[in-house]
Amino acid sequence: MASTARIMGVVNVTPDSFSDGGLFLDAEAAIAHGRELAAEGADILDVGGESTRPGADAVGAEEELARTLPVVEALAGEAGPGVPVSIDTSNAPVAAAALDAGAAIVNDVTALRGDPDLAGLCAEHGCDVVLMHMLGTPRTMQEDPRYDDVVDDVKAFLVERISVAIDAGIDERRIWVDPGIGFGKTVAHNLELLRRLGELRDLGRPIVVGTSRKTFIGRLTGREVDGRLGGSIASNVLAARSGAQMLRVHDVREMRDALKVTEAVLSPS
């Protein structure tokens, strides 16, 4: 592990993440959660207003904007905790409002395929962009996903999306790539992507990985979402060791500790 991977803390502003209360309470809870994750050592806070879990319906840009904007304003503004904020969206109007409110990164699970205006907007703002692989849409992606070779196919997709992004005027140095763990993949596909993650380094761009609490960990361990911390840590430590530079996680404090210990063992000073 050359250097410690950065940690992206997940701040979901979705009704299923914060169970009760109206939108204002959701935003307040999300802001408090973001501050806590920053205090625990998150390098980036990833604010999202639409669930992308398998089978989820799209919520619509207006609702997504109403959910995320107050949270981005608070976390990326002057009184925020002082770490960069990314907006987890595929919608240009949501990204535009977040960037205007101080977000520095657009994290797009559709890799600029969801909204034809998003690439140009990112180019104009000169922000960082995460391009993630997904087969199908959140609604359909887990219906019998198939690949010739999952790593080669994901890699080819990312090569194509990097070139689309560059053609739209996005500076190549601003681009991050993500294999999209759990997005149109079986357990075997996810494991193979993690096992061969190092092959994505050929793309020449920093790698983001999101395994935190995902279904494949539940399948392997028999645990529900709130019992998947051990599996999340194992998969993230291995991903960092294979060259992932950004780990998207819910449990920032535990992940930070795991990386510290891993790095101390691997790189004695």
Is the CB of 242 or the CB of 268 nearer to ligand HH2? 242
The encoded tokens of residue 54 equal 């398998």
**Is residue 260 annotated as part of the catalytic site, yes or no?**
no
SS3 call for 154: helix
- Give 137: exposed, middle or buried? Use CB within 10 Å, 0-12, 13-18, 19+: middle
Q: How far is the CB of 105 from ligand HH2 (least distance, A)?
A: 10
* Angle, helix 229-241 to helix 187-195, in steps of 10 degrees: 40
Binding of ligand HH2 at residue 14 (CB under 6 A)?
Answer: yes
Cβ atoms of 37 and 252 closer than 8 Å: yes
Residues 178-207, one symbol each (x = binds ligand HH2 by CB under 6 A, - = not), give x-xx--------------------------
Per CB under 6 A, 88 contacts ligand HH2: yes
Closest CA to 242 of 196, 183, 210, 205: 196
185 is catalytic: no
Strand pairing partners for 176?
A: 130
Among 26, 27, 30, 48, binds ligand HH2 (CB under 6 A): 48
137 binds ligand HH2 (CB under 6 A): no
Per rule CB under 6 A, is residue 10 in the interface with ligand HH2?
yes
Amino acid at position 169, single letter: G
14 or 242, CB closer to ligand HH2?
14
106 close to 129: Cβ distance less than 8 angstroms: yes
* Least separation in angstroms between CB 48 and ligand HH2: 6
Tell me whether strands 44-48 and 6-12 are parallel, antiparallel or unpaired.
parallel
Task: List interacting residues with ligand HH2 (CB under 6 A).
Answer: 10, 12, 14, 48, 51-53, 88, 107, 109, 130, 132, 178, 180-181, 208, 210, 248
Positions annotated as catalytic residues are 214, 248
